[in-house]
Structures are given as structure tokens and as C-alpha cells.
Amino acid sequence: MLVQQRTIKESVTLSGVGLHTGTQCTMTFRPAPIDFGIRFRRIDLGGNPEIPAIVDHVVDISRGTTIGIGEAKVHTVEHVLAAVAGLQIDNIQIDLDGIEPPIGDGSAKPYVDALQKAGFEIQDAPKDYLVIDQTIGYKNEEKGVEIVALPTDDFRVTVMVDYNNPALGSQHTGLFDLEKEFVSEYSMCRTFCFLHEVEVLRDAGLIKGGNLDNAIVIVDRELSEKELKDLASKLGVKDSVILGKNGVVNNRQLHFKNEPARHKLLDLIGDLALIGAPLKAQILAARPGHANNVEFARKVRKLYQQKKIIKKYQHEKKAGVVFDVNALQRILPHRFPFLLVDKIVDFQPNEKIVGVKNVTFNENFFQGHFPGAPVMPGVLIIEGMAQAGGILLLDGSEENDGKLVYFLGINNAKFRKTVGPGDQLVYEVTMMYRKSKVCQVQGKAYVDGAIVAEAELLATIVDRPGKKPSQ
């Protein structure tokens, strides 16, 4: 696998019609700087809005993956992303003067050919691999879908498809060396659908640009002469349509016997690019599709964001510790005697955090609260919850760097047991909701597994005094 980031040497353009929207589009791949990532830009819209290719911006998965921000959208990005990811390109800008990339022949090959023509340029920065060091699983019981990421030191993908349809049967395929196999074994594998789906897709307003030159149509039922003529009309085919003896409409030859399974693997690579980082993992997928690929990508991206944040603040690995006290001081503005969290032991950005505070007799508040009967003030327990909650708000975005978190309200506060010297407080804080710069968290504090205090905390995120407000 490549070690350094790379982009393309020069711009390259291709044009054509979109598969689902049927609209004409010219697309240009452009070189991009280090850490730019993959971004689509709608140059036909005012302001030329950019859409980073990350799963947070997926807005639709109707027979394809659509990303968007506000009114700006790009349909069916998976084949383009598969080409970019398959060629191990880290930084690239993709300009479009329409809403959907040209479909070409229904595979990633046209994009691969264009990118190879542009050439590649190694950049002076290491690749930001997401190394999977734990099993990550996703299941959709209803659809029979299962996708798993397993630890390994390279990138491998295995896909199995089984639609309980005799026209296709069960197929499987595996890619074990991206650099050696992607272009020659997978990039040319075309999108496909079943014969019975054509009318349904057309009626749903999809495949407006679909025809027998950019999709494989698998025969799964008999059609009358009239139905064949209607099918030809729906596909915009002037010549006759025949039910191929090889199981494919018009006897179109497959590149591989298991081309449908290979195309599903291609789609999966494209959708996994939405994680925002190249993977070192073994991916096993049973019956994958865009909707489930995207949900799996969301799950893996959360791990990526978590690791990215931890790497930023925690400079020394410690078993069982996410953030130690040194990392906490890089994150929080609090200092002695008001830093009331010693370490973070679990951190799931925007979801949940668990912090620990070891309460000792040396705490300065015990001098007056109370002499001879030391009790930790309940408001300080809530303050400890709030500090842990402030860390929970970290999402890896630069716009939240150097911010302060202020209380707006404390609701349903309850104190159930006293806390004194020798106790270890465990704060468990979960996100209730977050909108713009306002959020609400649920905090609970435990000692020896028993709850000692709880509260709902409402807070706002503000700029530090003296810091220029973020735009």
C-alpha cells in the first residue's frame, strides 16, 4: 500500500449523460493540495458550492449514493469515488456543471482511464490511514445484509451476493491487492438490474439515462412481444430487444462470470470512500447495497473521528485511558484547583463519554466542607459532569478548537449519596441533543457502581474572549 498522499498531475475532463437523472454533464478532475480530501464542486451553481465526499453529507440512497449540502447535490457518486479510492488518490477536486456525473458504460473504467491519463503526483505528507484494530460489525436482519471490518495490515474486500433469484444465483468475489487487482479485475465491472426492475425504476423517476450500453439487464422472467417493445421504448433502444440465451438482455457478454458480484464490490469501495480516510482492514460483506454500505460507513467514520481526536490531544498511549490529565489540559481551559476530571476512559464523539475523578483528602474544598465530616459539594460533582460533557462536544472540526462551553441551565438535579475522601467518581455523560451551538446532555455520577448524583445540563458553545469569532 502507498505511504504518501497523492493527487493527479493535471486536470482531465469527460462528458456524458447521468444514469438516473438523464442530464448532460461535463466533469473535470483537478489536482488538490495535501489533506484536501475528495470534494465535488458544482460550478453551475452560484458560489460554486463544494461538497466534501464524506458520509455526513449523504442525502439519498435510491439505487445510488447522492451527497449534498443545502440545495447543492451530486447524484450517483459511487463509481467516481470507487475510481478515486481504487487508484489510491487522496486529494482531488471534482468539478461538475450538472447534478450527476456521466455514467459512461456503467462501470468505473471511464473515470479510471481519465485519471490514469492525468497521471499521479506523490505529495509530501503521509497518508492518513484508518487502521482498524477492533471488529466493527453491521447487520440488517430484514435484508439479510452483514458487513464486517476486521483488523489486518492492508486492505482487502470480500463480497457475496445472493438475491434468491435463479437468474443470478449466488456469487462471491474478493480483492486482496488494491494496486494490482483494482484496475484489471474490478474497474470495468458494470452496474446491473433485473428485468422486472426496469419498469419500477422508470416509474420511480430513476434510470432516465439508462440504456443497454450502460447497464447489464439480467433476465428473470419471460416477456411477450408487446412487453419487449415497451421495454425497448423505456430504455430508449431503437433496435429490438431480445431475451438473451446467456441470461442477459440482448446477449450482452459479461466481462466475468461473477461481474454482478464484482460490481457490488466496486460500489462498496466507492461508498467506503465516504469514511474520509483510506482503510487498513479486511472487509467482509454479504448482500451489500448502497443503503447498508452508507450505514456501515457512518459507523466506521465515527471510529475515524474518535481516533483523530484522540491522536490530536493524547500524545502517549496508556492502557485503558483515552485522555490523561495532560490531554485534558490541552482540551479544557480549567486548571488547579478547578479541574475536576482526572482521565477519560471511554469516548464516543457526540454520543457518550466516561470520566474518572479520584477524590482525595487533599482536595481544598474539604477544609471547609465540612471540618471533621468531609463531604464533596454536590455542585462540584455537577461541575465534573459538565467538564466531561465539554469534552464530549469535541467533533474533530477546526471550528470548535479553542471554544468555551457555558451553562445555560441545570435541570432535574438529584443527589443520592455523599461523596468523600477515598471515593472514585465515575462520570457518565450522554448526548441528548445538539443543534448548532446549543446542546443538552444527561450526566450521571457513580461511586462503586452506585449512582450518587445526576442532572440534565444545557450548554452553549462560545468563542474564547479575545478570539476572533468563527465565520
For residue 159, give the CATH number of its domain: 3.30.1700.10
In whole angstroms, what is the distance from residue 235 CA to residue 136 CA?
41
DSSP track, 29-42: EEE--TT--EEEEE
Of 310, 330, 365, the residue at which a domain comes to its end is 310
Domain boundary (252, 285, 310) is at 310
Ranges of beta strands (E only) in 163-214 are 170-175, 192-194
Question: Residue 263 catalytic?
Answer: no
pLDDT of 247 > 70? The answer is no
What is the 8-class DSSP label of residue 205?
Answer: T
What is the rounded distance in angstroms from the CA atom of residue 258 to the CA atom of residue 33?
38
* Residue 129 falls inside a structural domain: no
As for how many domains the chain has, the answer is: 3
User: Does the residue 113 lie in any domain?
Assistant: yes
**375 or 397, higher pLDDT:** 375
Tell which wins on pLDDT, 426 or 405.
Answer: 426
Tell me, what's the pLDDT at 72?
Answer: 97
Query: In the prediction, which pLDDT does 400 show?
Result: 63
| pLDDT given for residue 248 in this prediction | 76
pLDDT, average across residues 45-54: 98
**Beta carbons of 19 and 76 less than 8 angstroms apart:** yes
Q: What's the mean per-residue pLDDT of the chain?
A: 90
Do 306 and 319 share a domain, yes or no? Answer: no
Convert the pLDDT of each residue in 344-360 to its tens digit.
999 998 899 999 999 99
pLDDT tens readout for residues 55-113: 999 999 987 899 999 999 999 999 999 999 999 999 999 999 999 999 999 999 999 99
Q: What is the mean pLDDT of residues 37-50?
A: 98
Does 471 score more than 60 pLDDT?
no
- Same-domain status, 164 and 282: yes
Cis bond upstream, residue 29 (ω within 30): no
Asked if residue 329 belongs to a domain, the reply is: yes
* Residue 225 pLDDT > 90: no
Q: Band of the pLDDT at 167, cuts 50, 70, 90? A: low
Check if the beta carbon of residue 332 is closer than 8 Å to that of residue 387. Answer: yes
* Residue 392 within any structural domain of the chain: yes
Domain holding 64: CATH number? 3.30.230.20
One domain for residues 190 and 304: yes
Are residues 287 and 385 both part of a single domain?
no
Residues 224 and 304 in one domain: yes
Structural domain of 97: 4-124
Neighbouring C-alpha atoms within 13 Å toward the C-beta of 432: 13
Whether residue 16 sits in one domain with residue 112 = yes
| Per-residue model confidence (pLDDT) at position 207 | 67
By the 8 A CB rule, do 31 and 92 touch?
yes
Same domain, residue pair 292 and 320? no
- Asked, for residue 469, whether it belongs to a domain, the answer is no
Of the candidates 20, 57, 263, 290, the residue annotated as catalytic is: 290
Same domain as 285, residue 177: yes
Q: Which among 389, 317, 399, 379 is positioned nearest to 350, based on CA atoms? A: 389
State yes or no: is 57 an active-site residue. no
- Of the chain, the percentage scoring pLDDT greater than 70 comes to 88
Q: What pTM did the predictor assign?
A: 0.85
Write down the catalytic residue from 172, 196, 255, 369.
369
Q: What pairs with residue 25 in β-bridges?
A: 16
468 DSSP 8-state letter: P
Q: Is the pLDDT of residue 245 over 70?
A: no
CA distance 261 to 287: 9
**331 and 401 both lie in a single domain:** yes
Taking the CB of residue 263, how many other CB atoms lie within 10 A of it? Answer: 27
CATH of the domain at 394: 3.10.129.10
* Grid cell listed for 84: 478515486
Q: Clarify whether residues 231 and 189 are in a common domain.
A: yes
Tell me the average pLDDT across 2-31.
Answer: 95
pLDDT in tens, 171-182: 999 999 999 999
Residue 444 predicted with pLDDT over 90 = yes
Lowest-pLDDT choice from 48-57, 126-135, 151-160, 191-200? 191-200
Query: Measuring CA to CA, which residue among 174, 111, 147 is closest to residue 289?
Result: 147
Q: Which amino acid, 126?
A: P
User: Average pLDDT, stretch 28-43?
Assistant: 98
Percentage of the chain exceeding pLDDT 90: 76
In a domain, 16, yes or no: yes
What three-state secondary structure class fits 370? coil
Based on the fold, state whether residues 194 and 96 are members of the same structural domain. no
- Would you place residue 396 in the very low, low, confident or very high pLDDT band (cuts 50, 70, 90)? low
Residue of 40 and 394 predicted with greater confidence = 40
Among residues 310, 326, 359, which one ends one of the domains?
310
Please give the radius of gyration of the chain, using alpha carbons only, rounded to the nearest integer: 27
On whether residue 468 sits in a domain, the answer given is no
User: Are residues 100 and 193 located together in one domain of the fold?
Assistant: no
d(CA 233, CA 228): 9
24 has pLDDT over 60: yes
In a domain, 131, yes or no: no
Determine the pLDDT at residue 375: 97
Given a cut of 60, is residue 281 above it in pLDDT? yes
